[in-house]
Amino acid sequence: MQTQTMQTQTTQTKTPTTKAIKTLRQIAAFAAMLSVATVMGQASASSHREAPFISGMPKLDATDFYMFNSYEKGREGYVTLVANYLPLQDGYGGPNFFNLDPNALYEIHVDNNGDAKEDLTFQFQFKQMFKDIQLDIANKKVSVPVVNVGQVDVGKTDAANVLESYTLKMIKGDRRKGPASNIKETSSGKTIFDKPLDYIGTKSLPNYVKYAAAHVYTIEIPGCDKPGKVFVGQRKDPFVVNLGETFDLVNIKNPLGPIDGAKDDLADKNVTALELELPAKCLTDGKSSIIGAWTTSSLRRTRVLAQNPTFTRPAYGLGEYVQMSRLSNPLVNEVVIGLRDKDKFNGSEPKNDGQFADYVTHPTLPAILELLFGGAGVKAPTQFPRTDLVAAFLTGVDGLNKNGSVAEMLRLNTAIPAKAAKDQNPLGVIAGDTTGFPNGRRPGDDVVDIALRVVMGKLLPKEVASSGQLPFTDGAKLDASFFDEQFPYLKTPLPGAR
């Protein structure tokens, strides 16, 4: 597979000295992980509608994936994993709102031995309970057209017409062939967990914070001597980006700063979050403290439309499960993978990522920026092939979170203690904060600004990246103060009505 490169990128660098090579390798490792994982975050809103086919299947569309050492006080030694799905939810999205697909599998995979294959899979499967509430209208029982006919609160769900629940399994080894165990709530032993209603509005759900909190469950992890936590529900979309101006040929008013609180086009959107907090020692293999992870969604190969569709069975699936969406590092499929291969990437597995290498060794987005802003002196890096990107894309950062796997995945060194929210730097590793991106990803890590600066060569020598030290930004502010300091971290969703 070959990828065309822009003619504006043409030169090959001279062979540096031994000392320079050593220094370059050290800084390039950091640059690589940042660049490959997020190349030009400015060009997209994380993984919202990132590939042509998945854009028509929003319930299967992963928007963001986070993995970080928990920084809630008293939760040292735990890792939080967050897989967000179903992008661009409006709070007022009635009458049906945003249930997940009961025919799909939603999964979080963990590689803990560096072979680019899942060693642990946490599998969510959803189910809808349709009550078919009916009202007596002139002596006739008639089904109502809405999802609730009164207020809903903790322990008070009689007025809810549709309820959603899920099961959670842990699978060891191959996600389809490995042994699976049901995960249970510690106190009750139940294996079916309730998912809260979306935030319809303050009249329907007068105390949503309390109501949602009642759906955080303490769970038993098979083979682990410590419990974990799980929460699934609607949350405020945590990603921050100046989206409209970005897609208008990067029509940013102040691309070199300052960070002035420019418009966040996702400020009024929600997502559905699948969140786990698990003991780190139960995720590692006991030999290495480094893990890699990613999320996927899958449907059965054949979808059959029902001749006479009902609420609970408008269609059904046949055959084996086929992967529809894949996400680990933010922005890879949007702005690294070429348009023709985006759907292919969504269906691929990390162990096969070598097929996409050309998109990394010869990235097109820096050249696009030069085409757009070359008149103002912006120059793309001229080092080819981009071996700095290849190293991190395939292996992780040496001395930080390299784990031997050859694959694109979000990697985390679980042995590096987390920083409290007040001490986190939103620019992560490039600002000296090794507890942040690309050592995992925290909600408050500003991957957009990180990506902008690194892709243009912040950590490369000036002779191959003349624009590398420019303080690129989309102007939209993001840091840990935007989020809660305890699980599930992501903020309460925006209501449909106040």
8 A C-beta contact, residue 5 and residue 382: no
| pLDDT score of 336 | 81
CA nearest neighbour of 395 among 66, 79, 116: 116
| pLDDT score of 475 | 78
> Rounded to 5 degrees, what are φ and ψ at 86?
60, 80
- Tell me the per-residue pLDDT of 247-301, one tens digit each, with 9 for 90 and over: 566 666 666 766 666 678 889 999 999 999 999 999 999 999 999 999 999 999 9
Residues of the chain with pLDDT under 70: 1-47, 242-255, 257-262, 388-393
Q: Tell me how crowded residue 137 is: count the other CB atoms within 10 A of its CB.
A: 8
3-state secondary structure of 37: helix
| pLDDT score of 249 | 63
